Amino acid sequence: MADSTASSTLRPVPSHEDRPVYVIGGGPGGLAAAYALRAQGVRAVVLEKSDRVGASWRRHYDRLHLHTTRRLSALPGLAMPRAFGRWVSRDNVVRYLEKYAEHHQLEIVTGVEVSRVERAGDSWLLHATGGRELTGSAVVVATGHNHTPRIPDWPGRDAYSGELLHAGDYRDPAPYAGRDVLVVGVGNTGAEIAVDLVEGGAGRVRLAVRTAPHIVRRSTAGWAAQFTGILVRRLPVRLVDTLAGPMAKVSVPDLSAQGLPRPGTGLYSRVKEGSIPVQDVGLVDAVRKGRVEIVAAVEGFEEGKVVLADGTRIGPDAVIAATGYERALEGMVGHLGVLDERGRPVVHGGRTPKDAPGLYFTGFTNPISGMFRELALDARKIAKAVARAAGRTRTAD
């Protein structure tokens, strides 16, 4: 892996042209941006707070695979090996990111966390670990969509004495063999963990659902759901909603009798609100066969029990909250007026906020067409925008 620059060597340099673009985050988005910048002749320095690239991927549960195809998940400048198969595993994603950094000889500094970014004349000032102040010509924020685990502040949560953990702390089903487990949240993570628990020998698995999700097959007759996502992403929302309804009825059985009815709102309308469809990797069969039981949403905890929205009280041995993550950007850039009311960057890719030229964001959307694919597209757009601003655009790959 390419940790080619020691933290102690980082110093602001006097010439604006020589000041690097700092890329905050050594995940796929940050690495892709760094390579694309290099391809445009721009020096890029990646700042990664952990000791290795791909830190968030290393923390994911063991059975995780990309829900997008290998061919459409490669970052710029390096294909994923065919040996990884069509659906790339978590471990192989990590291997790929390590190889990507090494192959492109990216300039990466580990163990440096950026706490605040400020405008400093025509440059950017980054406040980082150990009191460092780094000056860059531009900044790319790529700290990721899944930054800080979020568990709702349910009434009685703090007094609950049972086992309660976030999905980010779940690794494999072995600790839950023979036990009664409640998984809260039916996004892709919650759905996959529920299936993992069933297949791993959990005694009972219940899945708490507040809003019924759209469920799509990951692949149908060889046609990946990602292909459809790419084709429809620029079509009118109403049209996609209209087309998706009949397709869902053909490809996914009605699970209303098991407590999981078809959603009342359109698929693409939900995507625009930030809710990505659940790609089926075994949930449909598990629910249909009663191996995963659907229950009402969690409302709180009382006297050692979990209180559900329908008034039911249950006493699982463990509760796994697949309740999402915070982007946690407020401390770093919130003072710049570049976030919306939900804490999301107001722009991404090659565009910069009106009052913050030279500040770029990647990896904070949840696209239907695939995260890795969009990170690759964003990286090229960012690099071209930075090079254009510096007056040295190249014809990149």
Q: Are residues 115 and 242 in the same domain?
A: no
Place of tokens 């003072």: 335
pLDDT grade, residue 202 (50/70/90)? very high
Q: Are residues 119 and 157 in the same domain?
A: no
The CA angle 324-370-116, to the nearest 5 degrees, is 55
* Stretch among 9-23, 49-63, 175-189 having the lowest mean pLDDT: 9-23
* % of the chain residues with pLDDT over 70: 94
Q: Are residues 191 and 314 in the same domain?
A: yes
Last residue of a domain, one of 276, 294, 321: 321
Residues 6+ apart with CB under 8 A from 49: 55, 110, 111, 112, 113, 114, 129
Assigned domain for 317 exists: yes
Q: What is the pLDDT of residue 15?
A: 38
Q: Are residues 186 and 291 in the same domain?
A: yes
pLDDT tens, residue by residue, 121-144:
999 999 999 899 999 999 999 998
Q: Are residues 225 and 170 in the same domain?
A: yes
Assigned domain for 397 exists: no
How many domains, in total, are found in the chain? 2
Supply the DSSP symbol for 175: G
pLDDT grade, residue 394 (50/70/90)? low
Assigned domain for 159 exists: yes
What is the chain's mean pLDDT, rounded?
Answer: 91
Q: Are residues 312 and 285 in the same domain?
A: yes
Which domain, by its residues, includes 93? 7-147+327-390
Last residue of a domain, one of 265, 298, 321: 321
pLDDT tens, residue by residue, 357-369:
999 999 998 888 8
CATH label of the domain that carries residue 243: 3.50.50.60
Q: Are residues 200 and 290 in the same domain?
A: yes
Predicted confidence (pLDDT) at residue 381 exceeds the cutoff of 90: yes
Q: State the greatest distance between any 2 C-alpha atoms of the chain, in Å, as a whole number.
A: 68
Q: What is the pLDDT of residue 8?
A: 32
pLDDT tens, residue by residue, 242-290:
888 888 888 899 999 999 999 988 888 888 777 889 999 999 999 999 9
Q: What is the pLDDT of residue 147?
A: 79
Q: Are residues 289 and 349 in the same domain?
A: no
Q: Are residues 36 and 176 in the same domain?
A: no
Predicted confidence (pLDDT) at residue 75 exceeds the cutoff of 70: yes
The CA angle 391-41-387, to the nearest 5 degrees, is 35
How far lies 147's CA from each of 55, 144, 208, 308, 380, in Å?
10, 6, 23, 28, 23
* pTM for the full predicted model: 0.89
Q: Are residues 131 and 83 in the same domain?
A: yes
d(CA 333, CA 153): 25
DSSP, collapsed to helix, strand or coil, labels residue 187 as coil
Last residue of a domain, one of 306, 321, 336: 321
Q: What is the pLDDT of residue 386?
A: 96
Average pLDDT over residues 161-182: 97
Average pLDDT over residues 347-362: 95
Q: Are residues 175 and 270 in the same domain?
A: yes
